[in-house]
Structure 1
Amino acid sequence: MSLRWKIFWEMRQRSQIPSLQVMVRNYNTCKECSTEKKYGSSKNIKNPMLYTTCIAVAASVLGISYYTLKYKRNVYAFNTTQNIKYGQLQKDMKTFTLEEVGKHDSKEKGIWVTFGQGVYDITEFVDKHPGGSSKIMMAAGGSIDPFWMMFANHNTSEIHSLLESMRIGNISEEDAKSNKSNLYDPYANEPVRHKALKINGNKPFCAEPSPSLLVESFLTPVPFFYVRNHLPVPEIELKDYTLELAIEGTTKKTLDFKALNKYEKRTITAAVMCGGNRRSEMSKVKQLKGINWNVGAVGNATWTGVRLCDVLKDLGVNEDAFNHVQFEGYDLDPSGMPYGASIPISKAIDPRADVILAYEMNGETLSQDHGFPVRVIVPGVVGARNVKWLSKINISKEESQSQWQQGDYKGFSPSTTWNNVDFNKSPAIQEMPVVSAICDPQDTDTIEIKNGKIQVKGYAWSGGGRKIIRVDVTNDKGKTWHTADLTEDLQANEGRHWSWSLWNVELPVDKKSREVEIWAKAVDSSYNVQPESFNNIYNIRGLLCNAYHKIKVQLKQ
């Protein structure tokens, strides 16, 4: 039994806290907790502060944090009275001044924060926060609003509910306005994006192109390349850029952009795909909370820069002494922690792995959204490891301890739920599985039959440098299959097929049909093939979504 579980059960016994099954509810459907007579209110608990602490520990046990709570179906349903308006004035509570709140900025004095007009005592919660205490402590004695501006997609009713359970009072309307007027929007200077991108999230920015745009060219134009940011885009002047090289956290060398350019210049063609690409389809099996990607969270480009193995060679790195190469970006969270990820050192130092510290994309300087001035391109690996705005490379025996390496971008069994998930037992996603998608036509489109056939186009890709050897397409639910024609990178060497393949096929259709369902599946050079259904590959994070792609279209006679 883990320490967190032991603490939880000890506190449950001491305070007569109900079981996790009672406390954990579906926030949208729970009716039992809608009155104060149930365990949804701390008023029925003998020790309210201990109750709040227990809730925090239970949250930690289930992995709830400001980073991961948004993905959970089951959430804590306390303080769920429908009349509660989070962060607004509660007339039956005491009003504090900002000066009084500001004095409570340590464990000794108590840790208070404000949100809107609310005042909250989070002292007992701080050490139980799965994301660590450092981020919360930056808000100690002040407003938490700026943090929720940074992580706008976590500013949810579920987290509001958790915070409200710790509420102790109000601040005045005037003080609340003062707090708001002093807010700095970290997304105020974001770059301009092309209007053709479909926005899936604004803060941080996440967007994808229309599927039909993807198959217009083998190389994806930069303005149409999907954007997956985890934090605000940093503003970096080229003259000020430095890249830190470290071993076990100790800096060994610092390179500026000119020094980096002294290494031999290399160019590769590689696709980059988000781990959640096609999540919208998996969400039809069971509800998922996350970015609702269609098929466009992928792009194919040429990447020019220097090989990581050449840079590491100058450090005299011994592969046998280390296991991982960690990357950090210049994009920072409110506590000053950067986005981070890591890859196995065997891939990092292998010349045939073609890991690039890229400064050009499709022959042009990297754009802000895609990592200017330098980013990592790890071909064949999930997009999350291709760290943008690269600030540091650290050679280590350990994986990156970043939230995005340890508490996200991992796959699980279809039977794993948010009640029993253990991120420590699942390895971080590295190489991606074989996948394909139909891009033209799109689901529900009406298309014209020409000479008894319809034309279908799409892309296919496999991780690890595996070549796409075949794409099969059917319009009779697998009774007959048609092999598509492929457009691929003809210059790629064996085992280094980093780019996607575009495909097209003319499908014969019954002229009497008014609707047809089209399926597509790809096969790679290791004879890996896409699974038929999402049912058996469902996972709570909605990752690795590579089942057959299926669409229905109307036929125009």
Structure 2
Amino acid sequence: MATRTPRPFAAAAALRQFVRRDASGVGFSCRLARPRPRHLHAGRSRPSTTSAATHPPKVPATPRPPFQSRVAPVSLLIGGGLFASVLAYNHLGDDQPDIEGAPSLPKDDRDPSLPRYRIADVRKHDASSPEPWVIFEDKVYDITDWVSAHPGGDVILRAAGASIEPYWNIFTIHKSKHVREILDQYMIGFIDVADLGPDGRPPAESIEDPFVHDPPRDPRLITHTARPRNAEPPNEELDRSFLTPNELFYIRHHMWVPVVEEARADEHVVSIELPDGDVKRYTLRDLKERFPIHKVTAVLQCSGNRRNDMTRHAGKTNGLQWGVGAISNAEWEGVRLSDVLADAGLQVREATAPTRRDGSAPSGGDAVDANAMHVQLTGLEAYGASIPLAKALDPRGDVLLAFGMNGKPLPRDHGFPLRAVVPGHVAARSVKWLSKIVVSDEESTSQWQRRDYKSFGPNEGPHPNWDRAPAIQEMPVTSAITGVWVGECVRKGRVPWMGGASAASSSSSSSSSNSNNRGGGNANGSGIVDMAAVSHNVGFTPTAAPSTASSPCPPSISAEPIAMQGYAYSGGGRAISRVDVSLDGGKTWDQAELVDDCASPGSPCYGSKTWAWRRWRYVGRLPTLPVPAAEDRRGADKGGDRKACTTLVVKATDEAYNTQPESHRGIYNVRGNLATAWHRVRVCPRCTPADEKREGGVTWSTGETYGCGFGKEDQGETTREK
């Protein structure tokens, strides 16, 4: 029940207040109900309210006049009798005089047009209520409509009837402006001052940490958020090998990791619901014993991979500021989803049958049109997504219900005991901890399908039309630079994949110099650069005869050898046909060598199409660059003297001649999805004076150009795209 601060019992005073008022001002005025926000509504029917007293309607966008906000609800005036109405009016009014001897309460200068609620009343709207409420700071929110659309759905109900802040202190990813703006749309009032502490907040509550049972992680991973864990491998580890080691595979979680006992993993059940409502259930043991086992070598890539590039080069984006490491490659083992659906009894129309253009399900008969249906996938932690049924049934689509990864059982972080693997599609569709599959005539109604993983035009700004944009499925072509070596380390062959061969005489073409260096290799500490950090040296060029004591370096340096490495990938099973490299910001171009990892007997590629990434290598010579004097090295370190730097660029083209856009500005979207523009990394020479420990010379550095940057806020030192 909405109340004002309770007063000591004073019926006579209340009655005097009441009778003085103009009856026409009290009468039978009704509050106008605000329409529910529908931009996040996912089809949940709204239960009827009991009365305005137990659930006041939401406040209109334009505040009501203060007098109207004090009028007693009609149900009280009619059903409770005059005396009850007097008391209700006494509680709701703002202008009753304080009764002598009453305890003083803090001044309430918050919006007077919004109701006040006692914590006891909020507790009635817990997870069991058809209308759950939560508290944030000193405000009350009705999240009835949000639950069905909120990422996690049932998870937010843990906080229903109480404060959501203890959960947000754990789920730190929620502490962002755009999440708060969404929640604010569901605000219905304030906590009564009688229930607020000295800090203006309700008393803090303790909750059980749902992340306490998460698995340990490799310390080399670069963490963006700890709870839930979102992390990527450092550049020097990212594509060191063709198959990403399980412990270094990037981690993308929306919640905690479900706990499934290893000893009982084979008893894990996944249910299959068909369009006619029939449900079949399979244990993991059933899948392993009843269906053929298949392997698929495939990349999983987050739609936000390289989001930080888009932020720095185009504009602010919402979401985790991934570098180039939200992508990994693995060999997956499991059973085909198409085999399981057929066994469950799914009837599909012949491929030659006409397809309805409107995308709706065919009428009549038990067989469904695969082009008009979707497969909804749900995990144990409530995450949900969907893919087109046509993809699931495509004999060359290789969609797996996977239980193995790189020859081992799935790690807990990557879906143990069972996950979906949808090759060529955004990783958001490869649902982990898979527990339910539904064949439906509509997409998943989850937030992740309907809002999060979409892209739209750069003109749509911070409030795009989510309904108009299709959900991301197949991924576009992309590439990235993951390692750079310059100068002496290249001359002496200390680049890991060069096998110790000298590169001093290498030409600008990489095809001849790298012909015997396929397949990568293990880093030997020679200086793979983690460009996620700052001021990393990438090489050294000694100077035998310094010109002056104050400047031990020549005024410029030319034809310095450089080695680079990285990855390229395209979705939909499209192979990478070419990787172009530029050492001068895109003025001139050369081609990198594509490493033929699938030819290796030790790591053959499985699958009907090219689902894996393609690693590339390049050796060339930098253009002539001025060398700042030692006293000017700070400017070079900060990337301030751009004349003393050059920008390395990479772009890839797939077999369908799809290529990367030049600029992130043309593909900008506020969610930062599909940041696939040319990848740029600036390198700069700087002069290093000689001392007793080292000879003087030119040190090559990435400076502050964190081309694979992680969470950097400073926008002033970045390389702007031209």
TM over 0.5: same fold?
yes
Q: Is the 8 A contact 1:319 1:345 kept in 2?
A: no
TM-score normalised per structure 2: 0.59
**1:172, distance to aligned residue in structure 2 (A):** 5.5
TM-score normalised per structure 1: 0.76
Q: Is the 8 A contact 1:446 1:553 kept in 2?
A: no
SS at match of 2:205: helix
Q: Is the 8 A contact 2:117 2:191 kept in 1?
A: no
509 and 104 in structure 1: CA distance in 2 versus 1, 3 angstrom threshold = closer
Q: Where in structure 2 are the equivalents of 1:329-408 lying within 5 Å?
A: 329-331=379-381, 338-408=382-452
Q: Which amino acid aligns with 1:102?
A: R
249 and 15 in structure 1: CA distance in 2 versus 1, 3 angstrom threshold = closer
Distance 2:125 2:379 in 1: 33
Q: Is the 8 A contact 2:218 2:247 kept in 1?
A: yes
Whether 1:168 and 2:187 are equivalent positions in the alignment is no
Whether 1:279 and 2:307 are equivalent positions in the alignment is yes
Bigger CA radius of gyration:
2
SS at match of 2:304: coil
Distance 2:665 2:213 in 1: 42
Whether 1:131 and 2:160 are equivalent positions in the alignment is no
Listed one character per residue, the Cα deviations across residues 101-137 of structure 1 (whole Å, up to 9, x for unaligned) are: 4346699999764446x3x4435x7447883797777
Distance 2:67 2:218 in 1: 51
**1:430, distance to aligned residue in structure 2 (A):** 0.5
Q: Which of the residues 222, 232, 253 maps onto 1:229?
A: 253
Listed one character per residue, the Cα deviations across residues 133-171 of structure 1 (whole Å, up to 9, x for unaligned) are: 977776553333455356431134672993888313243
**1:239, distance to aligned residue in structure 2 (A):** 4.6
Q: Where in structure 2 are the equivalents of 1:143-154 lying within 5 Å?
A: 143-145=163-165, 147-148=167-168, 151-154=171-174
Q: Which amino acid aligns with 1:167?
A: F
Q: Where in structure 2 are the equivalents of 1:307-346 lying within 5 Å?
A: 307-320=336-349, 321=368, 322=370, 323-331=373-381, 338-346=382-390
Match of 2:576 in 1: 468
Distance 1:539 1:109 in 2: 36
Whether 1:544 and 2:635 are equivalent positions in the alignment is no
310 and 492 in structure 1: CA distance in 2 versus 1, 3 angstrom threshold = same
SS at match of 1:141: coil
SS at match of 1:456: strand
Bigger mean CA offset, 169-178 vs 453-462: 169-178
Whether 1:102 and 2:123 are equivalent positions in the alignment is yes
Q: Which of the residues 216, 219, 235 maps onto 1:195?
A: 219
Distance 1:107 1:465 in 2: 46
100 and 375 in structure 1: CA distance in 2 versus 1, 3 angstrom threshold = closer
Q: Which of the residues 107, 112, 135 maps onto 1:92?
A: 107
**1:311, distance to aligned residue in structure 2 (A):** 1.2
Bigger mean CA offset, 513-522 vs 439-448: 439-448
Distance 1:210 1:411 in 2: 27
328 and 179 in structure 1: CA distance in 2 versus 1, 3 angstrom threshold = same
Distance 2:300 2:146 in 1: 36
Distance 1:179 1:264 in 2: 54
137 and 362 in structure 1: CA distance in 2 versus 1, 3 angstrom threshold = closer
**1:179, distance to aligned residue in structure 2 (A):** 5.5
**1:185, distance to aligned residue in structure 2 (A):** 1.3
Match of 1:459 in 2: 567
SS at match of 1:261: helix
Q: Is the 8 A contact 1:274 1:382 kept in 2?
A: yes
Q: Is the 8 A contact 1:381 1:430 kept in 2?
A: yes
**1:218, distance to aligned residue in structure 2 (A):** 0.8
Distance 1:134 1:270 in 2: 32
Q: Is the 8 A contact 2:462 2:670 kept in 1?
A: yes
Q: Is the 8 A contact 1:110 1:121 kept in 2?
A: no
Q: Which amino acid aligns with 1:241?
A: H
Listed one character per residue, the Cα deviations across residues 423-464 of structure 1 (whole Å, up to 9, x for unaligned) are: 111110000000000000255643237883100000000000
Match of 1:435 in 2: 478
**1:92, distance to aligned residue in structure 2 (A):** 2.2
Match of 1:517 in 2: 647
326 and 130 in structure 1: CA distance in 2 versus 1, 3 angstrom threshold = closer
Whether 1:204 and 2:228 are equivalent positions in the alignment is yes
Q: Is the 8 A contact 1:111 1:121 kept in 2?
A: no
134 and 503 in structure 1: CA distance in 2 versus 1, 3 angstrom threshold = closer
Distance 2:249 2:325 in 1: 9
Q: Which amino acid aligns with 1:300?
A: N
Q: Which amino acid aligns with 2:123?
A: G
Listed one character per residue, the Cα deviations across residues 1-36 of structure 1 (whole Å, up to 9, x for unaligned) are: xxxxxxxxxxxxx899xxxxxxxxxxxxxxxxxxxx
SS at match of 2:338: helix
Distance 1:49 1:202 in 2: 47
SS at match of 1:405: helix
**1:370, distance to aligned residue in structure 2 (A):** 0.5
Identity between Structure 1 and Structure 2 (%): 38
Listed one character per residue, the Cα deviations across residues 474-517 of structure 1 (whole Å, up to 9, x for unaligned) are: 11222321111112434558971000011010121136555321
SS at match of 2:385: strand
Match of 1:266 in 2: 294
Q: Which amino acid aligns with 2:609?
A: R
Q: Is the 8 A contact 1:300 1:499 kept in 2?
A: yes
Match of 2:656 in 1: 526
Q: Is the 8 A contact 2:480 2:566 kept in 1?
A: yes
Q: Is the 8 A contact 1:15 1:45 kept in 2?
A: no
Match of 1:122 in 2: 141
Match of 1:291 in 2: 320
Distance 2:156 2:302 in 1: 29
Match of 2:467 in 1: 424
167 and 529 in structure 1: CA distance in 2 versus 1, 3 angstrom threshold = same
Distance 2:135 2:568 in 1: 49
Distance 1:505 1:108 in 2: 62
Distance 1:121 1:204 in 2: 25
SS at match of 1:290: coil
Q: Which amino acid aligns with 1:46?
A: P
407 and 516 in structure 1: CA distance in 2 versus 1, 3 angstrom threshold = same
Distance 1:48 1:286 in 2: 45
513 and 136 in structure 1: CA distance in 2 versus 1, 3 angstrom threshold = same
Q: Where in structure 2 are the equivalents of 1:24-35 lying within 5 Å?
A: none
103 and 486 in structure 1: CA distance in 2 versus 1, 3 angstrom threshold = closer
319 and 415 in structure 1: CA distance in 2 versus 1, 3 angstrom threshold = farther
101 and 166 in structure 1: CA distance in 2 versus 1, 3 angstrom threshold = closer
Cα RMSD over matched residues? 3.5
479 and 222 in structure 1: CA distance in 2 versus 1, 3 angstrom threshold = same
Whether 1:448 and 2:539 are equivalent positions in the alignment is yes
Match of 2:457 in 1: 413
Distance 2:213 2:335 in 1: 29
Q: Is the 8 A contact 1:534 1:547 kept in 2?
A: yes
422 and 241 in structure 1: CA distance in 2 versus 1, 3 angstrom threshold = same
Listed one character per residue, the Cα deviations across residues 152-207 of structure 1 (whole Å, up to 9, x for unaligned) are: 311346729938883132436599897623x1111121111111111111222100
206 and 318 in structure 1: CA distance in 2 versus 1, 3 angstrom threshold = same
**1:316, distance to aligned residue in structure 2 (A):** 3.1
Distance 2:383 2:399 in 1: 19
Q: Which of the residues 480, 486, 505 maps onto 2:588?
A: 480
Q: Is the 8 A contact 2:266 2:285 kept in 1?
A: no
SS at match of 1:381: coil
Distance 2:251 2:141 in 1: 35
Distance 2:659 2:174 in 1: 36
Bigger mean CA offset, 98-107 vs 372-381: 98-107
Distance 1:473 1:200 in 2: 29
